[in-house]
Amino acid sequence: MDFAEILFALFIVVVAVVSLLSNLSVLLCFVHSAEIRRQVPGVFTMNLSFCNILLTVLNMPTTVVGIVQNRQPFGDCACHTVSFLDTFLTANSMLSMAALSVDRWVAVVFPLSYATKMRYKDAVFMVCYSWAHSLTFSLVALLFSWVDYSHVYASCTLQLREGERDRAGFAVFTVAFHATSFALSLLTLCVAYLKVLKVARFHCKRIDVITMQTLFLLVDIHPSVKQRCLAEQKRRKQRATKKISIFIGSFIICFAPYVTTRMA
């Protein structure tokens, strides 16, 4: 192992530890809080955390061992299982984040009818769809033996085996898989949160109008107080945009490298 490989292996170990601790904390909160279990977003969060924990426990150690040994760490059966889980869990995580964005869109845009538009059974149905969707593509990849160890990624993942001739079929499968998982989820996130941002800006504008009218009437108010109110108005406008940008940006940072390398 050279120095770069050692650093990369240590980086994966650190990410795995942080991911495991943070997602276990989320699951513990879900288990011990009846209030969270009754809420619809808790269903999507639990599913996302569960997928992240399995990825951390099953896939990341395999990658670390592959980097250290510079070869396939386990037998073909174990490697195919890890590859199957890699495809299944990654797609499931993407769709879970898309479902969370839809839930937030309904909650913000339709607050008075949220309880009827996003029921608990609707959330369970969406989670079941994400499982069925992910399982279908994972089984297809496994049945066609499009799962193997990749020396480039140092892990067992979605991969066309050496000497495999059905490159056209694998290319169609890869495009369809990433289009209906990553691209569809990213589009859902963008559309949903743009709607949320539009509503947030509308409410901020109404609050700003009331604030300016109040400041105009309070003629004896100290200039520093007016300045703080105006500064708070500016921060309020930027807060929603910043939070949405962080959420969508984290989705792209987490999943775009996986998609682009598998499409290459």
What is the tens place of the pLDDT at every residue in 33-70?
888 788 888 889 899 999 999 989 888 888 888 888 87
Say what the pLDDT of residue 31 is: 83
Say what the pLDDT of residue 92 is.
Answer: 94
Which of 95, 106, 93 has the alpha carbon at shortest distance from 193? 106
Task: Report, at the CATH architecture level, how domain 3-263 is classified.
Answer: Up-down Bundle (1.20)
Q: What is the mean pLDDT of residues 128-139?
A: 94
Q: Which tens digit of pLDDT belongs to each residue from 201-214?
A: 776 666 655 665 56
Q: What integer best gives the mean pLDDT of the chain? A: 83
Please state the pTM of the whole predicted model. Answer: 0.83
Cβ atoms of residues 150 and 79 within 8 Å: no
pLDDT at 232 over 80: no
Sign, CA dihedral 94-96-100-103, equals positive
Q: Stretch 184-205: mean pLDDT, rounded?
A: 84
Phi then psi for residue 157, to 5 deg, are -155, -175
Of the ranges 119-133, 143-157, 223-237, 246-260, the best mean pLDDT one: 119-133
What pLDDT score was predicted for residue 208? 58
Highest averaged pLDDT of the listed ranges 43-57, 70-84, 157-171, 190-204: 43-57
